[in-house]
Structure 1
Amino acid sequence: METVIEINNLTKVYKNGRGITDINIEIYRGDIFGFLGPNGAGKTTAMKIMTGLIKPDSGDVKILGYSVLEDFEKAIEKVGCIIETAESYPYLTAFENLKQFSRFYDNVDNKRIEEVLELTGILKYKDEKPRKFSLGMKQRLGIAAAILSKPEVIILDEPLNGLDVEGMIDMRNIIKNLAKKEKTTFFISSHLIHDVELTCNRIGVLYNGRLLNVDTTKNILNNYASLENYFISEVERNGRI
């Protein structure tokens, strides 16, 4: 299996004592890796380090063999991401937003823009401005932007926030299809246990800034009635550190 993301001894602790401590994970080509943990567990901190938004106290992240600390441009070149919230230009249309983003890439034309708008279910709203969009619609536009350049790695922080049931199913199918057909590697954070269970093939449990365990979804569900049972078991077994 080809390792696409390597997280080595990653630590970032804030003045209030929160953050992450000594995180180690390997993620392989085509994985849909779920970073599962409650709000405040440190998921977003790890993802901000992965995408160069903050620097760790120690440790490193390599994406496609390149360190985000030492060779950031090469590490992030084939990465699409949404961290915390999906941002857009409120006074440009959905199409114009993606047109603006396309300027950063060599391989994105109008046909590709329409393709991702259709894929995320908002093609019919392409001439509307996102300041009028619901939270779920803004999230769909953010996903469209994240997959615009056909990246090899996609990092999504709480991607299902604000989506209705139909939207969640659509996003789940998009993620699974890209992983299966394009071998796109996903790193997804969520506190929504049910959605992680239905979406991800490997899961890491993060609690109080520490990684408790990493396992395949298949193996977890062979041994526990549900991912929720597994999560509770892991937290209790580790003494709510």
Structure 2
Amino acid sequence: MENVIEIKNLTKSYANGRGISDINLDIYKGDIFGFLGPNGAGKTTAMKIMTGLVWPDRGDVKILGYSVTEQYEKAMAKVGCLIETAESYHFLSAFDNLKQLARYYPEIDDSRIDEVLEITGMLKFKNEKPKKFSLGMKQRLGLAAAVLSRPQVVILDEPLNGLDVEGMIDIRKMIKHLAENEETTFFISSHLIHDVELTCNRIGVIYNGKILNVESTNTILKNYATLENYFVSEVERNGRVSGSTS
């Protein structure tokens, strides 16, 4: 299997005691990797380091063979991401927002903009402005922006936040379609256990800033009734909490 993301000994500590400690992960081409943990577990910290928004205390991340800390532009050249909040120009239409972004990618034309609006369920709103959008619609537009350039790697921090059931289903279909048909590799953080179970083929559990285990979804579901049962078991086995995923 081709290694697309290598995370080695990644560590970051904050004054409040939170952060991440010695995270090691290998993500392979075509993976839909679920980074599962409760709020405050360290998911966003790790993903901010992966995308160059935060500097680690120790360790490194390589994407497509390039170090994020030493070769940032090369590491991020074929990466799409959505971290925390989907930002947009509120007084431009959804289409024109993506048109602005497309200026960085000469090979992206209007038909590609329509395509990503279609796969995220936003094509019918292409001429409307985000200032009038719901949280879920803004999230869909942010996801369209993340995949606009046909990236080889997509990093998504809580991508289903703000989406209704229909939206969650649409985005799951989009992710699986791109992974299967374009071999796009996804690294997705979430605290929504059910959605991780339905979306991801491999899962890493993070708790209190540390990786507890990494396993394939198929293997987990062969041994546990649900991903929630697995999560609780891993957390209890490692002596963290007793019996609640919250």
TM-score (norm 2): 0.97
Secondary structure (helix, strand or coil) at the match of 1:111 reads: helix
Q: Residues 111-146 of structure 1, C-alpha deviation per residue, up to 9 Å, x if partnerless?
A: 111111111111111111001000010010001000
Cα distance in 2, alignment partners of residues 18 and 122 from structure 1: 37
Cα distance in 1, alignment partners of residues 118 and 180 from structure 2: 19
Cα distance in 2, alignment partners of residues 8 and 195 from structure 1: 27
1:192 partner letter: L
Cα distance in 1, alignment partners of residues 176 and 88 from structure 2: 25
Cα distance in 2, alignment partners of residues 124 and 220 from structure 1: 39
Q: Which residue of 1 aligns with 2:244?
A: none
Cα distance in 1, alignment partners of residues 204 and 221 from structure 2: 14
1:27 partner letter: I
Q: How many residues align?
A: 241
Q: Residues 137-174 of structure 1, C-alpha deviation per residue, up to 9 Å, x if partnerless?
A: 00100010000000000000000001110100000000
Task: Give, in angstroms, the shift of residue 23 of structure 1.
Answer: 0.1
2:230 partner letter: Y
Cα distance in 2, alignment partners of residues 34 and 117 from structure 1: 24
Q: Which residue of 1 aligns with 2:27?
A: 27
Task: Give, in angstroms, the shift of residue 34 of structure 1.
Answer: 0.2
Q: Which residue of 2 aligns with 1:141?
A: 141
* Aligned: 1:122 with 2:122: yes
Secondary structure (helix, strand or coil) at the match of 1:154 reads: strand
Q: Which residue of 2 aligns with 1:151?
A: 151
Q: Which residue of 1 aligns with 2:109?
A: 109
Task: Give, in angstroms, the shift of residue 104 of structure 1.
Answer: 1.1
Flag structure 1 segments of 5+ consecutive residues without an equivalent.
none
Q: Which residue of 2 aligns with 1:15?
A: 15
* Aligned: 1:225 with 2:217: no
Q: Spell out the pairing of 1:55-204 with structure 2 (5 A cutoff).
A: 55-204=55-204
Cα distance in 1, alignment partners of residues 233 and 158 from structure 2: 23
Task: Give, in angstroms, the shift of residue 235 of structure 1.
Answer: 0.3
1:151 partner letter: P
1:216 partner letter: S
Cα distance in 2, alignment partners of residues 186 and 148 from structure 1: 14
Secondary structure (helix, strand or coil) at the match of 1:105 reads: coil
Cα distance in 2, alignment partners of residues 123 and 103 from structure 1: 20
CA RMSD of superposed structures (Å) = 0.7
1:146 partner letter: A
Cα distance in 1, alignment partners of residues 41 and 106 from structure 2: 37
Cα distance in 2, alignment partners of residues 122 and 35 from structure 1: 26
Secondary structure (helix, strand or coil) at the match of 1:113 reads: helix
Regions of 4+ moved over 4 Å: none
Secondary structure (helix, strand or coil) at the match of 2:172 reads: helix
Cα distance in 2, alignment partners of residues 186 and 56 from structure 1: 22
Cα distance in 1, alignment partners of residues 149 and 213 from structure 2: 33
Task: Give, in angstroms, the shift of residue 107 of structure 1.
Answer: 1.3
Task: Give, in angstroms, the shift of residue 196 of structure 1.
Answer: 0.2
Flag structure 2 segments of 5+ consecutive residues without an equivalent.
242-246
